[in-house]
Amino acid sequence: VSAPRIVDLRAGILEKNDLLAAGLRERFAAAGTSVVNLVSAPGTGKTELLEQLLTRMAATTSVAALVGDCATDNDARRLARAGAPVRQIVTEGMCHLEAELVAQHLDGWNLDGFDLDAIDVLFVENVGNLVCPASYDLGESLRVVLLSVTEGEDKPVKYPALFSSADIAVITKVDLADAVGFDRDAALAALHSVRPGIAVVETSARTGAGVAELADLLRAPASLTATA
C-alpha cells in the first residue's frame, strides 16, 4: 500500500536533485570547470586511479577532487599524497552522493580558500555502489564508470542503469586479467550492449597502462562527441 507514496517521494527527491544539479552545472560552466563523476562498485579502484590521474594531470592542468564515502576520510588522506586539493564528503551511511551534498561541500571548501574558478577539472568520487548513484545527477560534465577485471564481465548487464548513464567506461586492474581469466571480449560486449558506442579505456594503476590515455580524454572531452 505504501508503494505509490514511495514512488511519489522518490520522484520528488529526484526532481529536487535535478534542479540542484542544473544549478551546479551552470556554476561549473561559469567557472570553466569540467566535472568528472567517478562511479563503480566498492573496490574497483576509483581512489587508486584518481591518485594517478591527479598526479599525472597536475603538471599541465589545475585539478581537484571531492571524494565521497559512507564513513572514514581514508580516501582524502590517500589522495592528499598527489598534491592536489582534495576534500572528503562523509555521507554517514547514505549510499550515493547527491547534488545538495556536493554544493554544501563546495561552499564549505570555498570558505576555506578553495577557488573553483581556478580549477580546470574537478573529480567527484562517488560512494562505491553500482545501483543508487545512477539516479543522482551531480551536475557533472562526464560520468565515468569503472569495471575491474576481477568483478565479472556481466556486471554491465546486471547493473544497466548505471552503466547506460555513463560517458566513458574504464576497465581497471588489467594487470590482473590473466590471473583472473578475464574475458575481454565478453566485457566489451556487455558494455556495448547496455551503452552502444561508449568510449572504453583499459587501465592498470599498478603499471600505469591507459592512465595517460584517460587523462587526455578527460582534459578534452569534446573528442568524445566526435567519436561517439
Q: Summarize as ranges the residues that interact with a second copy (CB under 8 A).
A: 2, 5-6, 9, 12-13, 16, 41-44, 69-72, 74, 93-95, 127-132, 148, 150-152, 154-155, 157-161, 173, 176, 179-180
Q: Which is nearer to a second copy, 118 or 161 (CB)?
A: 161
Q: Which is nearer to a second copy, 69 or 167 (CB)?
A: 69
Which triple of cell numbers denotes residue 53? Answer: 590521474
Q: How far is the CB of 183 from a second copy (least distance, A)?
A: 14
Q: How far is the CB of 220 from a second copy (least distance, A)?
A: 31
Q: Are strands 199-202 and 168-172 parallel, antiparallel or unpaired?
A: parallel
Q: How far is the CB of 83 from a second copy (least distance, A)?
A: 22
Q: Which is nearer to a second copy, 5 or 113 (CB)?
A: 5
Beta bridge partners of 144: 38, 168
Residue at grid coordinates 580546470: 120
Q: Which is nearer to a second copy, 9 or 228 (CB)?
A: 9
Q: How far is the CB of 182 from a second copy (least distance, A)?
A: 12
- For the chain, how are helix, strand and coil distributed in percent, rounded to 5? 50, 15, 35
99: CB partners within 8 A, 6+ apart: 17, 18, 20, 21, 23, 24, 136, 137, 138, 139
Between CA 48 and CA 15 the distance in angstroms is 33
